[in-house]
Amino acid sequence: MTDRSGVMIMCDGDLPSLVAVMHTAERLGSTQGPGRVGRLVIVPVARRETARHAAVQRQAALCGAAIESDLGRFDTETDLLLSAGRSADRQGLGEIIWPVHAGVSDNPETVDLDRASRCAATALLIERLLQVESGDAPTITAPFVDLCDRRLADLAIDLGLIPGDVWWSAGTGDSQSVAAERWGRAFEANGVALRLASASKAASRRG
């Protein structure tokens, strides 16, 4: 039987991806022994030559994870997840982490329950389809799907993360500024202020 101890993370360079990467690297390192990290593969879910793709590369470099070549462009999340699942199966990986997040952008305490439900159903559907195809397919988890922005930011704080390795950290474009403001509110809800300093964010606990 294939040793399915490796993990694939679908990464778009945002904060949920960063939390997933670092939490998984920590988990794999603890199971593999001091100074070692089990097999971790990052799948970029972002177009090349974009701030998101550059952030994916930085996040992978934080823990020495391998980066898989681009899976291509897909019209739906279902097609993308199925392609990632088949790739993980071919590589003998045991788990796919899909850090999809259904938080609401204008309220750090709110979750879009309809989207969370759809994403959870999609993950289960694709996992079952892969099992039919392979019989020994990887599992698919969406650990953050029902978390609001505040709780996701709290996980980042618990991991000691300073979100400089996310696509919006530079804050140089309109979309980056909007994302930085969104996550800034989430960190502030946990008593942490994010301060933009050149191309990185600095986090400081408020007294």
Among 6-10, 31-35, 162-166, which stretch is predicted with the lowest mean pLDDT?
A: 31-35
Inform me whether the pLDDT recorded for 198 exceeds 50.
no
pLDDT of 34: 40
Confirm if 39 and 8 have CB atoms less than 8 A apart: no
Confirm if 16 and 144 have CB atoms less than 8 A apart: yes
Strands 103-104 and 107-111, sheet pairing: antiparallel
What's the predicted TM-score (pTM) here? 0.85
Query: What does pLDDT average to over the chain?
Result: 83
> What are 129-159's pLDDT values in tens digits?
999 988 888 999 999 999 999 999 999 999 9
Inform me whether the pLDDT recorded for 114 exceeds 90.
yes
Inform me whether the pLDDT recorded for 202 exceeds 80.
no
DSSP state of 142: -
C-alpha span between 85 and 72 (Å, rounded): 14
